[in-house]
Structure 1
Amino acid sequence: MQPALTTTAQVLHDLGLAAGFGGSLFGKISLAPAVRVIGDKSERNKVIDQAWAGYKWVNLLSLGAAALTWFTGRTKISGRMLGKDARAAVVAKDILIGVHTVTLLGSLGLGAYIGSGSAGLVPVQEGHVPAPETPPEKARAVRALRVLSTVNLVAMAGIIGVTTFLNQRAASSWKWRALSAVLP
């Protein structure tokens, strides 16, 4: 039987990853292209800006839940007991969470910059694709946001994959089962 605190932390970690990945994936493949149905290119970005203004809190909370539970656990467990490949996966996950953190915060900052001074009315073809009439500095920011958000999505997918690998490795490790018996 897995201890309640450890189980709760794992659930929060997984929910954080799911909320962050799912929202970002929806934004990239559904919301961003869907705004093309809006005739006014400036209004397109306004809709995107409003949608992400609400979801940014979910993204921040999901990052917090995933990172806090992971790094809290990391203060106690290095992954060495699961073998060399698991130890490498633990380090890879540390790096991926760092990349996720930097790219999410960068995306939030760029999103705020793009909408600043214009009430969000920056012309775009669709989300992350500037229109020909987009001011050059805002167009650069829109393109940079496209790159950052893509890297963020890939990092989250990597975190989910590494987490699955580590969970499977832990489930088959007698050392991990022995340790988890004494965890809170």
Structure 2
Amino acid sequence: MARATTAHQLHDLGLAAWFGGTLANAVALNKAAAHSGDAASTGAVANEGWDRWTPVNAAAIGAHLIGSVGLLKHDLGRMSVQKGVGSMALAKTAVTIGALGVTAYSRVLGRKVSQHHAVPAADGTTPTASTPPDVAAAQKKLKQLQWAVPALTGAIVAIASYASEQYRPEEVHRGMLQRVLP
């Protein structure tokens, strides 16, 4: 049981940071950068904030994935005997893969913006007329994607909450009976 507890802790702590950090940056940092004084400073502030968040986010994602693998190993036996556990694990895995893909693509776009460090911008994801075209294109994509990561990781939180309910003894017994009885 100690391994499952550690796996849960890593899973939940990593997921909380991944979700919360990207949501906070989308809600606050990208807009707050606009108050830095001028368009070049706006880009510099947004880039500095996201660049500082990146290693923390990578560690959070790593912790979440390590915890997820531990939980998956722990739940392998339950998947074969408790109805609903397998489909929940599959859904959670699919959403996690989607969140990882969007996060990785967002980082590629973010790096393109960050390479110009003090790129002129209206806010963290909105270009100005003087923003270089390749950076402006990346910012426009980031403006859309900034909400996708919190949405997907929020969905993982919801699925994980449902999964926790499946651990309750009455749910385990009901899931086992549903598997055995037609």
| Range of TM-score over shorter length | 0.7 to 0.9
Offset at residue 80 of structure 1 (A): 4.5
Offset at residue 18 of structure 1 (A): 0.7
TM-score (normalizing by structure 1):
0.85
1:82 aligns with 2:82: yes
Asked if structure 2 preserves the Cα contact closer than 8 Å seen for 1:45 and 1:127, the reply is: yes
TM-score (normalizing by structure 2):
0.86
1:69 aligns with 2:67: yes
Partners of 2:120 and 2:102 in 1: CA distance: 23
Give the structure 1 partner of residue 136 of structure 2.
139
Partners of 2:134 and 2:34 in 1: CA distance: 22
Asked if structure 2 preserves the Cα contact closer than 8 Å seen for 1:104 and 1:149, the reply is: no
Residue type matched to 1:163 in 2?
Answer: A
1:1-184 aligned within 5 A: 3-75=1-73, 77-78=75-76, 79-84=79-84, 86-116=85-115, 118=116, 120-171=117-168, 172-174=170-172
Unaligned runs of 5+ in 1: 177-184
Asked if structure 2 preserves the Cα contact closer than 8 Å seen for 1:123 and 1:131, the reply is: yes
Partners of 2:142 and 2:80 in 1: CA distance: 37
Unaligned runs of 5+ in 2: 175-182
Give the superposed CA RMSD.
2.0
Asked if structure 2 preserves the Cα contact closer than 8 Å seen for 1:81 and 1:175, the reply is: no
Partners of 2:80 and 2:41 in 1: CA distance: 53
Residue type matched to 1:82 in 2?
Answer: Q
Offset at residue 75 of structure 1 (A): 4.1
Cα shift readout 1:69-97 (whole Å, capped 9, x = no counterpart): 2134324534353323x432211110111
Cα shift readout 1:14-59 (whole Å, capped 9, x = no counterpart): 0001111111111011111112212211111111111121111111
Asked if structure 2 preserves the Cα contact closer than 8 Å seen for 1:110 and 1:145, the reply is: yes
Asked if structure 1 preserves the Cα contact closer than 8 Å seen for 2:88 and 2:163, the reply is: yes
Asked if structure 1 preserves the Cα contact closer than 8 Å seen for 2:36 and 2:45, the reply is: no
Asked if structure 2 preserves the Cα contact closer than 8 Å seen for 1:16 and 1:64, the reply is: yes
Partners of 1:129 and 1:161 in 2: CA distance: 31
Asked if structure 1 preserves the Cα contact closer than 8 Å seen for 2:166 and 2:172, the reply is: no
Give the structure 2 partner of residue 182 of structure 1.
none
Partners of 2:103 and 2:9 in 1: CA distance: 21
